[in-house]
Amino acid sequence: MNRIQNNIGSPDKETARIEAFSDGIFCVAITLLAIEIGVDAKHVSSNQDLARALGQLWPKYLAYFVSFINVLLAWVGHHSLFRRIRTADNFIMIANGLLLMVLALVPFPTKTLGLAMGTPAFRTAVLLYTGYFVAVSCCYRLLWFAAARHRRQLVEGITETQVRATTRAENIGLISNSTILLVALLNPWLALALSFAMWIYWIALG
């Protein structure tokens, strides 16, 4: 029996591949966020002209900053979930595929936000952006539902307390992102500020 043959019937190996593939998508998606940022070729008539053009890109810098942090935290959350999963069945595969499909789209709401910030279309862009992260949270919640529905798919030594803590964390993510979406209806800037507050929470949570 060689190394490759061992894969047949070894679900752990398959989980490692799903994680590596997911990591790759996180990686490419997060790096593609940056390619939207740039000045037009016409803004090189003088140093002042270029400096002004660079300054006017602030909505794109801000959108990049917000999305990079969000995707980075999503990546940390993804590992957090998969560290608790021992083997992936069809349902988990589909839920993870759905999550990756939504996540790879992140350059779209990000560039829309960078485009509309400071324009009359700001509220719509923030609704798209915050709604997008509600969809991301739903995918995480679904993935954890798929994983936790049978205890045999979780790692062996996991305690009931650890399972409940993860469930609570996913619920908090979904509820807080939904709240931020509702706040965006009232005040787009307040919604972005609330996102920032949630980062502190997730980072403190570790």
- Judged by CB under 8 A, the chain residues 36 through 65 that form the site for its own copies are 37-39, 41, 43-51, 54, 64-65
Question: By CB under 8 A, what part of segment 74-103 binds its own copies?
Answer: 75-76, 79, 82-83, 85-86, 90, 93-94, 97, 100-101
Residues 6+ apart with CB under 8 A from 71: 26, 29, 30, 33, 103, 106
CB atoms within 10 A of CB 165: 13
- 162/171 with CB nearer its own copies: 162
Considering beta carbons, is residue 11 or 178 the nearer one to its own copies? 11
Q: Which of these segments, 20-28, 143-151, 164-172, 174-182, binds its own copies (CB under 8 A)? A: 20-28
Q: Which is nearer to its own copies, 118 or 175 (CB)?
A: 118
- Considering only residues 177 to 206 of the shown chain, the ones binding its own copies according to CB under 8 A are 203-204, 206
> Could you give the C-alpha distances from 147 to 78, 83, 115, 160, 180, in angstroms and in order?
12, 11, 38, 14, 27
Q: Which of residues 101-140 bind its own copies (CB under 8 A)?
A: 101, 104-108, 111-112, 115-116, 119-125, 128
Identity of residue 81: L
- Tokens read off for 76: 């940390």
- The rounded distance, in Å, linking the Cα atoms of 125 and 132 is 10
Size of the site for its own copies (CB under 8 A): 83
Show contacts with its own copies in window 146-165 (CB under 8 A): 155-158
> Can you say whether the dihedral through the CA atoms of 141, 161, 93, 106 is positive or negative?
positive
State the Cα–Cα distance between residues 169 and 175, nearest whole angstrom: 10
CB nearer to its own copies: give 46 or 186: 46
Q: What share of the chain is helix, strand, coil (3-state, %, to 5)?
A: 80, 0, 20
Complex with its own copies: residue 12 or 175, whichever CB lies closer? 12
